[in-house]
Structure 1
Amino acid sequence: MGRTKDPRAAGLAALAALIADETRAACLLALLDGRAWTAGELARHAGVAPSTLSEHLGKLVAGGLLAQERQGRHRYVRLADARVATLVEDLAAQLPPAQGRPVRGLREASAGSAMARGRTCYDHLAGRLGITLTDALTARGLLRQDTGFALTEAGLAWFAAAGISLDGGGRRPLARACLDWTERRPHLAGVAGAALCRHALEAGWCERIGSERAVRVTGTGERELSALLGVPADALR
């Protein structure tokens, strides 16, 4: 008698096939910035015709990976939720380092360097900046990493004292490890990671640069993060 086929197998295969296209993968990676993009913006980013991109977007929406809305004549799409962002980032983190790949000009090299220094990973901070802040929280006893990521009582008090609200997370974990695809180490995600990123941008601690997901710490951010977490300014640059 043969084994009963796992009912999840067909769904998993369909999901893998949905992602296993370079144009669709490029769209998913671009949308990790947490913002909504127009179909035209994604077409230019992926280097395909708008009609081709529209077909791909239709498949991603139908597959539940993207959500869409229309405003006037524009069609906006974004990742469906944080679970999709986690899936895409975790898959990207499994890629081998891009060693030996030629860099196409100074602009690409500068953009790649900026992304490695600091960027948003959907709704939390990543790159060396994300790792630096995660390490600082851990060193001060605010975050535990020994049995999975978890905020300590001191950590909860720190967020409250810093004016960073942890409310409204729904079913998301309060703290979650997200493997950083450039640093190959976990940074803070989950409700706490999203709240820290949101506060950093709204309070002017960080600012977005360029058209990618790259962010940099401002002078205000250097002073505040040094005071709150004891991070040296040069470690934030």
Structure 2
Amino acid sequence: MKVLAIMGSPRRNGTGTEVMKMIERRLRERGEVEMEVLHLADVGLQPCRGCFSCIKLGEDRCPFREEREALEKRIEAADGIILVSPGYVQNVSGLMKDFIDRMAYTNHRPRFFGKKVMIVANGGAGLDRTLDALRIAIGGPEVVSELAYLALPWPTRPRTGEKNEKALLRATDRFHDAMVRKDMRPSFGNYMRFRFFKSASEAAREWLPADHAYYHRLDGYYYDVKIGVGTRLMAAASMAIAMPLMRGMAPWSGEDRP
């Protein structure tokens, strides 16, 4: 198995790197693994300019697509991805936020299916919010494991270190086991996401042509998988309730419907 770790800290030898070394050691204890550690500080990823081209017209229309595409090739080559960020003001680092912004189109048009993701936040208070941001960083691969690793700038009780170690081992084992299973059954939430975006892409085809082209060629799901009758019925009922509630976000023709 090949694992790509994407590090969001501007410090190459900080706490996140130490945590990553412990994760790598545990993965090697569980089986053969090829590790690649990528520091975003070394990539020089340009921040998003907010032109909206990647979402509206397609990711190939991004003015800085070459650097993003080089990073995406490394993601494609991996079976698993580990996203690591320090918690800065109860959020991700600036480097990791740049990465998330540059991958924003995948939240409209997911890719990298079948890959498993582990997300890691290290620091003090608010790590749950850092994990919230990491959870939606890439659309398509499945987040299977999360780790909040408490790291403070002063000595802490031995119990804190023990809790960190146990949490790290559990999270790493979940990540490893998910990569081994290779389960691609979608969750109900992901199926609902597909149904919503397919419907929305038709309604907004004039404004989001890339989304419309992407979803127009898809039928039951993003990839070939069996969706149970019960799941389809529940999703249809949920869509019937949700779509009218979201009318305020829909394209407006200038006339209110009754």
TM-score range, shorter chain: under 0.3
> Structure 2-normalised TM-score?
0.23
TM-score by length of 1: 0.24
